[in-house]
Amino acid sequence: MQVMVLAGGLSAERDVSLRSGRRVAEALRTARPDWEVVERDVDAGLLTALADDPPDCVIPLLHGAAGEDGAVRDVMDCLGLPYVGTRPNACRLAFDKAVAKTLVRRAGVATPDWVALPHATFRELGAPGVMAALDRGLGFPLVVKPTRGGSALGVSVVHSREELPSGMVGAFAYGDVAMLERFVTGTEIAVGVIEMADGPVALPAVEIVPDGGLYDYAARYTAGTTQFYVPARLDAAVAQAAAEAAVTVHQVLGLRDWSRSDLIVADDGTVNFLEVNVAPGMTETSLVPQELAASGIDMGEQMAVLVERATARV
């Protein structure tokens, strides 16, 4: 079996992707020493390499644009290459946070109110008027984030109308459309979903307590800046509701093999969906590896099972 782990790319999350790819490749080599596991970046030579020596399976661990938006997976489908993970069309639904929230809310999962505004809206309607409408419709505080992207890049919490312009600038630095979402106080958690033989199964929720209060890029990937509790310190009924929400998200969006939903449990116990990842981070500080470990599941073995399942689909 020859497995190619795709990592890197040119998105703002390149470094995280490389770390994820390296860790998964090492875990696979340990779990399946007879397999040939190669790590490959995305560049102009990739398609030639795939055509000249096609691997038995590809594991796309590209984060951000061109990694989670389905584009690279479209190309792999054209080449007839098996790969682990979600198909392109479902990737596009999940990658756009506003679209994902619309579909998830329609399925009955709670999610904070939001609006998605292109940069042009502020120019065409006038920034003061738009900000006044946001104040009236959503109120403050708000979470401002790019609609497409991950690793909390461009995300900020805005407490007043005066802070909104700087928050919008930060979000627009990573895309042309920003989402403004009503801020919910509570317990921030993430729930991974792995497809087993009898269907998708939620892993134990991990509770996230960043030292600075915001689970931003630095808090995600700098060791020691965030405390994690696995399983999360939740009432059993709330933990079950979180697991059910993550599985519902996985199914409603048509995801495949694995995913990770980011959720927040409000002070009244309501589980709120925030966003979902189709290529979860697998670094030393990432969440899914912690959930797998808490479940007693070896990461390399689980990835090998997903590889075997992907090759059997062809």
Express each pLDDT in 65-87 by its tens digit: 777 889 899 999 999 999 999 99
Percent of all residues in the chain with a pLDDT value above 90, rounded to a whole number? 65
Angstrom CA distances, 136 to 141, 144, 161, stand at: 12, 16, 11
Rounded CA separation 260/246 (Å): 7
**Residue 175 carries which side chain, given as an amino acid letter?**
G
Q: Are residues 196 and 176 in the same domain?
A: no
In a domain, 235, yes or no: yes
Angstrom CA distances, 313 to 253, 299, 301, 306, stand at: 20, 21, 19, 11
pLDDT reported for residue 54: 95
> Which residue is listed with tokens 């790819």?
21
Q: Are residues 157 and 227 in the same domain?
A: no
In a domain, 25, yes or no: yes
Is residue 248 a contact partner of residue 104, using CB atoms and an 8 Å limit? Answer: yes
pLDDT reported for residue 151: 57
Q: Are residues 10 and 78 in the same domain?
A: yes
Is residue 157 a contact partner of residue 185, using CB atoms and an 8 Å limit? Answer: no
pLDDT reported for residue 218: 60
Q: Are residues 196 and 271 in the same domain?
A: yes
Domain count of the chain?
A: 3
Q: Are residues 243 and 159 in the same domain?
A: no
> Which residue is listed with tokens 């390296």?
22
Rounded CA separation 204/192 (Å): 8
Torsion of CA 100, 101, 107, 109, to 10 degrees: 130
The reported pTM is 0.92
Give per-residue pLDDT as tens, 82-115: 999 999 999 999 999 999 999 999 999 999 999 9
Asked if pLDDT for residue 217 goes beyond 90, the answer is no
- pLDDT category at 129 given cuts 50, 70, 90 is confident
pLDDT reported for residue 269: 94
Q: Supply φ then ψ for residue 183, to 5 degrees.
A: -75, 130
> Which residue is listed with tokens 């059910």?
244
Tell me the pLDDT of the chain averaged across its residues: 91
Q: Supply φ then ψ for residue 313, to 5 degrees.
A: -70, -20
- pLDDT category at 1 given cuts 50, 70, 90 is very high
Question: Range with the lowest mean pLDDT among 48-57, 59-68, 178-187, 227-236?
Answer: 59-68
In a domain, 287, yes or no: no
Asked if pLDDT for residue 7 goes beyond 60, the answer is yes
pLDDT reported for residue 222: 62
- Last residue within a domain, chosen from 162, 182, 202: 182
Is residue 309 a contact partner of residue 85, using CB atoms and an 8 Å limit? Answer: no
Quick one: tokens of 296?
Answer: 């007693």
pLDDT reported for residue 247: 98
151 versus 285: the higher-pLDDT residue is 285
In a domain, 305, yes or no: no
Give per-residue pLDDT as tens, 140-171: 899 999 888 765 778 888 988 888 888 888 88
In a domain, 108, yes or no: no
Q: Find the domain containing 219 and state its range.
A: 186-278
In a domain, 129, yes or no: yes
In a domain, 46, yes or no: yes
Q: Are residues 23 and 80 in the same domain?
A: yes
Rounded CA separation 245/202 (Å): 9
> Which residue is listed with tokens 């290529």?
279
In this structure, what CATH number is given to the domain that contains residue 19? 3.40.50.20
Helices (H) and strands (E) in the chain, counts: 12, 13
